[in-house]
Chain A
Amino acid sequence: DTGVSQNPRHKITKRGQNVTFRCDPISEHNRLYWYRQTLGQGPEFLTYFQNEAQLEKSRLLSDRFSAERPKGSFSTLEIQRTEQGDSAMYLCASSYRAGNSNEQFFGPGTRLTVL
């Protein structure tokens, strides 16, 4: 296991279409996070899971966004009826909740462009 992986790396879609991204965390990590990063800004928290439970959702996560982690392993982030404002880099990170574990390991991101 070489790290967090995300697919696809790039996605171009037309406004109004639905898109789904996948994140595969580091295998022993039980926490998984989604962030959104727009150009020139820091990542903004969207949601996170501990195992299969979604523990927190940002108000940024409108009803067009849904995230799942059905078996506590990989996660999907779906955006329905995409808007141009959804264009951003979507980052996934994972970590292990134990002791003094403090680092989140980030994937390479999925860059979404909505035309």
Chain B
Amino acid sequence: AQKITQTQPGMFVQEKEAVTLDCTYDTSDQSYGLFWYKQPSSGEMIFLIYQGSYDEQNATEGRYSLNFQKARKSANLVISASQLGDSAMYFCAMREGRADSWGKFQFGAGTQVVVTP
């Protein structure tokens, strides 16, 4: 069964606007971590933001924030004030278990974001 679901294959957003990328997850573990990575056309995976399952506050990192709704099992990424350099593929990922025993990532299929002038 798919553990991470990203329902938006692609999105266009205008420069300086905010964009929300959807992510829902499926786990029976109480302890897990949620991550967002950016993959530009050059191919490298760039870590953006992390949310732990026990974190009560939504994570923020600069222009990135994670809208964590635990009961809905959603972890949407919000990018504020989009820039042309934000054009990339964005992946939501999950690691299950305790933070000190995490193993593999499980990734969603990704959302392609194109920022237009």
Contacts and interface: CB of A to CB of B under 8 A. Distances in A.
Interface in A24-69: 33, 35, 40-45, 48, 55-56
Interface string B87-109: 00001010100011111111111
Interface stretch (A13-21, A78-86, A104-112): A104-112
A42 B110 contact: yes
B102 A42 contact: no
B25 interface: no
Contacts of B108: 42
Contacts of A93: 45, 105
B43 interface: yes
A106 B99 contact: no
Contacts, number: 64
Given A42-B110, A106-B44, A100 B99 contact: yes
Contacts of B47: 103-105
Contact-residue bracket for chain B = 20 to 34
B50 interface: yes
Given A102-B33, A106-B45, A33 B104 contact: yes
Interface residues of A, number: 28
**Which of B35, B43, B52 has the most A CB atoms < 10 Å from its CB?**
B43
Nearest to B93: A42
A5 to B, nearest CB: 12
A80 B103 CA distance: 26
Interface string B33-59: 101010000011101001010000000
Contacts of A108: 43-44
Contact of B43 (A55, A89, A97): A89
11 contacts: A41-B109, A42-B110, A45-B105, A45-B106, A48-B103, A93-B45, A101-B99, A102-B50, A102-B102, A103-B50, A105-B47
Given A42-B93, A43-B105, 20 more contacts: A33-B105, A35-B105, A35-B107, A41-B109, A42-B110, A43-B107, A44-B107, A45-B105, A56-B104, A97-B100, A98-B100, A100-B52, A100-B100, A102-B33, A102-B50, A102-B99, A103-B47, A104-B105, A108-B44, A111-B43
